[in-house]
């Protein structure tokens, strides 16, 4: 299945399936399936205590058409949407604001979107906002951090690169990416052949030499996040199966890594059987 970029982001950011489902208006089952597709560990089953006021906030909301968010949680006796987390009460507006801007609001919060009771972080402002033309939030008081994050996002950096560069929370970056509707930078897809070509040179006699890294003197390469012996990886790619036993160049040139010069034990045994049937003697295996 194809995993929606926003679902993937929130999964990578560590949110639970139900939280993501509520936040993005998709089914929890689809989020669980996406998690499996991405090979991420399953979300903890059953009730999980909220890890932060922000977590709890998302659990108490329901997305509705137009990108608005309804509050399904507790209200104070004055009708204010609120949560209590680890003994401290927060208004939903305050948490929404913190999700949006990464800092506490000044004065009261409100959602100028016009949807009654909306708590969507992307719609929430505090009473200090100076509204100007442009996209929501453009006229807000200075928040260099958000601006920096947005600039790097627009520049195509990955969430992880931004997190490391600006030392900001990964969840916050994911939220800002979503609010600003900036697509995740596509991870460059490197094929095995490209990777291989980058680390090899043709050698005399039709052999191929390894120019890449070595691990304990064995040509080594990292492909799809795993470290392989370069010969084993090349063998697997060339023959479409995992090698049995050691993979060695059968061409007689000891440094050779050319895929079709490589032999595993199965091939060596088959060759020696052929030789034995031709010459009627045992050949070296």
Least separation in angstroms between residue 241's CB and Zn ion is: 20
Least separation in angstroms between residue 16's CB and Zn ion is: 24
3 CB-near residues (< 8 Å, 6+ apart): 34, 37, 38
CA distance 234 to 259: 5
**In this structure, is the dihedral angle defined by the CA atoms of residues 242, 244, 245 and 249, taken in order, positive or negative?**
negative
CA distance 233 to 91: 56
100 binds Zn ion (CB under 5 A): no
Least separation in angstroms between residue 189's CB and Zn ion is: 29
One residue of 4, 184, 207, 265 binding Zn ion per CB under 5 A? 207
CB 249 within 8 A of CB 257: yes
CB 91 within 8 A of CB 80: yes
Hey, which residues between 35 and 74 contact Zn ion (CB under 5 A)?
A: 68
Which pair of structure tokens corresponds to residue 100? 């949006």
Question: Can you spell out the DSSP letters for 38-89?
Answer: TTPPPPPPS----SSHHHHHHHTEEEEGGGEEEE-S-B-TT--BEEEETTEE
Q: Which is nearer to Zn ion, 34 or 101 (CB)?
A: 101
Which pair of structure tokens corresponds to residue 133? 């033309």
CA distance 30 to 27: 5
Per the DSSP assignment, residues forming a β-bridge with 75 are 81
Q: Which is nearer to Zn ion, 16 or 105 (CB)?
A: 105
Q: Which is nearer to Zn ion, 7 or 118 (CB)?
A: 118
One residue of 92, 256, 262, 267 binding Zn ion per CB under 5 A? 256
Counts of helices then strands in the chain (DSSP H, E): 11, 13
Least separation in angstroms between residue 259's CB and Zn ion is: 10
Question: Backbone phi, then psi, for 276, in 5-degree steps?
Answer: -65, -40
One residue of 101, 258, 264, 267 binding Zn ion per CB under 5 A? 258
Per the DSSP assignment, residues forming a β-bridge with 229 are 220
Q: Which is nearer to Zn ion, 165 or 211 (CB)?
A: 211
Q: Binding string to Zn ion for residues 117 to 146, with x set by CB under 5 A, is what?
A: -x-x--x-----------------------
Q: Which is nearer to Zn ion, 134 or 225 (CB)?
A: 134
Q: Binding string to Zn ion for residues 144 to 183, with x set by CB under 5 A, is what?
A: ----------------------------------------
Least separation in angstroms between residue 121's CB and Zn ion is: 10
261 binds Zn ion (CB under 5 A): yes
239 binds Zn ion (CB under 5 A): no
One residue of 5, 28, 185, 251 binding Zn ion per CB under 5 A? 251
Hey, which residues between 102 and 121 contact Zn ion (CB under 5 A)?
A: 111, 113, 115, 118, 120
Residues found in the chain: 285
Residues that bind Zn ion (CB under 5 A): 68, 111, 113, 115, 118, 120, 123, 207, 251, 253, 256, 258, 261
């Amino acid at each position: 299945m194809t995993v929606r970029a926003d679902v993937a982001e929130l999964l990578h950011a560590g949110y639970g399936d139900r939280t993501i489902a509520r936040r993005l208006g998709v089914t929890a089952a689809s989020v669980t399936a996406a998690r499996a597709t991405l090979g991420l560990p399953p979300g903890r089953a059953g009730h999980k205590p909220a890890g932060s006021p922000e977590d709890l906030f998302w659990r108490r909301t329901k997305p509705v058409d137009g990108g608005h968010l309804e509050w399904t949680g507790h209200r104070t006796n004055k009708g204010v949407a609120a949560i209590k987390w680890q003994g401290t009460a927060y208004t939903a507006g305050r948490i929404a604001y913190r999700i949006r801007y990464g800092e506490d609001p000044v004065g009261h919060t409100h959602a100028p979107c016009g949807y009654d009771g909306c708590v969507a972080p992307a719609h929430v402002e505090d009473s200090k906002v100076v509204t100007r033309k442009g996209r929501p939030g453009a006229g807000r008081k200075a928040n260099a951090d958000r601006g920096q994050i947005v600039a790097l996002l627009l520049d195509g950096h990955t969430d992880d690169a931004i997190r490391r560069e600006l030392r900001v929370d990964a969840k916050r970056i994911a939220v800002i990416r979503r609010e600003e509707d900036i697509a995740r930078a596509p991870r460059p897809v490197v094929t095995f052949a490209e990777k291989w070509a980058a680390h090899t040179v043709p050698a005399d006699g039709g052999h191929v030499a390894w120019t890449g890294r070595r691990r304990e003197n064995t040509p080594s390469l990292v492909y799809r996040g795993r470290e392989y012996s370069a010969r084993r990886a090349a063998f697997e790619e060339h023959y479409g199966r995992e090698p049995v036993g050691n993979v060695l160049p059968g061409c007689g040139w000891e440094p050779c890594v050319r895929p079709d010069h490589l032999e595993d034990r199965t091939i060596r045994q088959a060759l020696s059987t052929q030789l034995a049937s031709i010459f009627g003697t045992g050949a070296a295996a």
